[in-house]
Amino acid sequence: MRSRVWIARIGGLCAAACALLCAAAAEAQETPAVDLPKFNPSVAGDRFFGVPSPFAAGEATFHAMALLDYAREPLVLVRDTGTDSEDIGSVVSDQMFVHIGLNFSIINRIAINADMPFAVLSSGEAPSGGGIEFQEPSGAAVGDLRLGARVRIFGDYHEAFQFGVGGYVWLPTGVDTSYVTDGSVRGQPQLLLGGRADRFIWSMMAGPTFRSSTSLSTVTLGHQMNWGAGVGVLLLEDRILQLGAETAGGVDIETPDGRTTNAELLAGAKLRIPSVEFLELGLAAGPGLTTGIGTPAFRGVFQFAYTPVIEEPKADTDGDTIYDDVDACVKVPGVKSDDPAKHGCPADGDTDKDGILDKDDACPTVPGPRNEDKTKNGCPPPKDRDGDTILDDDDACPDVAGIPSEDKSKHGCPPPADKDGDGVLDGDDACVEIPGLKTDDKATNGCPGDTDGDGIRDDKDACPREKGEPDADASKNGCPKLVRVTDQEIVILEQVQFDTGKATIRSVSNPLLDSVAQVLKEHPEILRLEVQGHTDNKGAKVMNDKLSGDRAKSVKDALIKRGVDAGRLTSKGYGMDKPVADNKTDEGRQKNRRVQFIVTEKKATGATVQTK
């Protein structure tokens, strides 16, 4: 966007044509005085470039700054052709000011300030239109002196919410041939809000500008309503770098339209020089957001300021107006003294600096806490050498950390030993070195349990999850004689017997199938089991495939009759396709004639696992 002055369109009504002819015949009017600059720098010490803060920065504190403000095309002459617009030329194409600002804060609540602008660059093309002969800017010139004042009403400098009022008055010290003044006094009262919350800062301003009316071509400029808002963040360890964005503008109260509305956006940074933090550098830039007179297409700002750091208020715990960092008696109100050891202490004295006057201190030379018992007031608490919170005077074991006990001879002493950490004291633990469970049976108290309930303790059971029988061989003790369970298979230790060439199960295999059914009932985590039938390589393949399938189905049906859920079982014959031994020998062929129980789906903790 850029500022525009519109003149009447060519053609149209006869009255307009006549007016143009008369204007051409007559001597062109001179350019009226216009205060073109719309950027009002905040005073030195404020947080943002163009949005004033509500605080007074410091107590009897002086701030100063030099600010360079460059505006591109703040005033352009445009002819309205009815359906389009035509740029005639830039009345002011480039304008640069140097602002010298001073600010003095009084009693941390009132601030007075002044800003003197100097136009060091002001150039343009001096186009004509609308009956006005626009003059070329005269270059370097003095602007209008701005005087201001501010009162902080609520909120301190470092608080998240602050409220204040203030205002500016401009005196017509400028040169009217450089578009920097309208030659009249104007004023702007302001309502100010802002604050700082840790690293976040913000400010807002609103207020009218009262001024005399000025006409420029077909535009009349009068009283305005102005606003501004800014947000930022403080970075680095000492918060010396500030990044922020702000916007400011105004709109004519009497004729509010696009030609009398100003709005700009700035984004920038401020940096306090680490070695000399009272010096601050600032740089910002941004576009104009409207086409109102004085709004540039682009604005750039550079600031160099002397602005002392405002420290956070020091603590004064006892409220005696002597700050804690130099108060020898931080918790007790006292008086000033040239002796640092007594500065801030009561006149009555507090020798041990524990906040209890010597006259009330039962131990005046040894620091201690307050105590309602006058004989202990100001005395250090009894010692607790072993740190078990039981004072040495009551601790039966003062050098060894222990636990409370109603028995004075054990109070503060360690509890009885529990070597395996199972909660059963060694004196009652039948298995002192093996973690176990508490039971009422002295023979098993503190010993491992019996998960499968086969009467064989888990630590001695080679198959703790399947019921089994005792065995002198430790690797078989507690294991089933006929069946073992692995993650992938229910392993049978002998083969299912069938009638020769048939799928009829011989009765000798009933105990084996009973065991398989029992194991399936004890292991509900096995969701799906495939009963597989296999043969050797004797005979035709078709015959072997059918025989192996029939035998697998016979075993499946036998398990269902024994109470196994049919939904958990499938059967399949593989014939001679999956040998586990050499079919060239009798021994190998015997091993290949087999039934297997393969786990195809198993429920693990929190998930179902496909095993095939």
Q: Which of 242, 273, 306 is the last residue of a domain?
A: 306
Say whether both 130 and 267 belong to one domain.
yes
Residue that wins the pLDDT comparison between 186 and 501: 186
pLDDT above 50: residue 329: yes
> What is the average per-residue pLDDT within 544-555?
93
The CATH number that applies at residue 498 is: 3.30.1330.60
More confidently predicted of 330 and 54: 54
H/E stretch holding 122? strand 110-123
Domain assignment present for residue 53? The answer is yes
Contacts 24+ apart (CB under 8 A), 250-254: 250/38, 250/209, 250/224, 250/225, 250/226, 251/224, 251/225, 251/292, 252/220, 252/221, 252/222, 252/223, 252/224, 253/208, 253/222, 253/223, 253/224, 253/225, 254/213, 254/220, 254/222, 254/223
Residue 569, both tokens = 């079982």
Q: Give residue 441's pLDDT band: very low, low, confident or very high (50, 70, 90).
A: confident
Same domain, 405 and 289: no
pLDDT of residue 139 exceeding 70 = yes
Mean pLDDT of 289-307: 94
Question: Given this model, what pLDDT does residue 506 score?
Answer: 93
Give the per-residue pLDDT at 411: 87
Whether residue 274 has pLDDT greater than 50: yes
The backbone torsions φ and ψ at residue 584, rounded to the nearest 5 degrees and listed phi first, read -80, -10
Q: CA 295, CA 274: separation in Å to the nearest integer?
A: 36
pLDDT > 70? residue 9: no
**196, containing H or E segment:** strand 186-197
Q: How confident is the model at residue 333 (pLDDT cuts 50, 70, 90)?
A: confident
Q: Which two tokens stand for residue 282?
A: 């600032």
User: Looking at the structure, do residues 135 and 222 belong to the same domain, yes or no?
Assistant: yes
Q: Is residue 372 part of a domain?
A: no
List 89's β-bridge partners, or say none: 77
End-of-domain residue from the set 306, 336, 357: 306
The pLDDT value given to residue 15: 33
Span 448-469, average pLDDT: 76
> Of 306, 335, 362, which one is at a domain's C-terminal end?
306
Q: Could you tell me the residue range of the domain that residue 599 belongs to?
A: 483-610
Q: Are residues 495 and 407 in the same domain?
A: no
**In this structure, is residue 378 part of a structural domain?**
no
Assess if residue 427 is contained within a domain: no
The pLDDT tens digits of the residues spanning 63-73 come to: 999 999 999 99
- Indicate the pLDDT class of residue 391, thresholds 50, 70 and 90: confident
Mean pLDDT of 134-144: 82
In this structure, is residue 326 part of a structural domain?
Answer: no
Three-state DSSP class for 553?
A: helix
Matching residue, tokens 């804060």 = 105
How would you label 244-270 residue by residue, b for 16+ Cβ within 10 Å and e otherwise? bebbbbbbbeeeeeebbbbbbbbebeb
**181 vs 184: CA distance, rounded Å:** 8
Q: Does residue 78 lie in a domain region?
A: yes
- The reported pLDDT for the residue numbered 140 is 84
What does the alpha-carbon distance between residue 76 and residue 179 come to, in Å, rounded to a whole number?
13
Q: Are 97 and 52 in contact (CB under 8 A)?
A: no
Q: Are residues 141 and 246 in the same domain?
A: yes
Query: Which of 246, 344, 250 has the alpha carbon at shortest distance from 295?
Result: 250
**Same structural domain for residues 137 and 279?**
yes
Has residue 499 been placed in a domain? yes
Q: Do 520 and 387 share a domain, yes or no? A: no
Query: Domain check: are 404 and 525 in the same one?
Result: no
pLDDT grade, residue 120 (50/70/90)? very high
Q: What is the pLDDT of residue 82?
A: 59
**How many domains in the chain?**
3
The answer as to whether 443 is a domain residue is: no
CA distance 117 to 212: 21
Give yes or no: residues 115 and 213 share one domain: yes
Tell which wins on pLDDT, 154 or 339: 154
Distance (Å, rounded) from C-alpha 79 to C-alpha 6?
6
Residues 263 and 395 in one domain: no
More confident residue, 548 or 415: 548
Q: Is the pLDDT of residue 31 over 70?
A: no
Which of the four pLDDT bands, split at 50, 70 and 90, describes residue 270?
very high
Residues 387 and 291 in one domain: no
Model-level pTM?
0.53
> What is the average pLDDT value for the chain, to the nearest integer?
85
What sign for the dihedral angle of Cα 513, 515, 521, 525?
negative
Read off the CATH number of the domain in which 118 is found. Answer: 2.40.160.40
Instruction: With CA atoms as reference, report the closest residue to 278 among 310, 232, 237, 321.
Output: 310
For residues 478 and 462, the answer to whether their CB atoms sit within 8 Å is yes
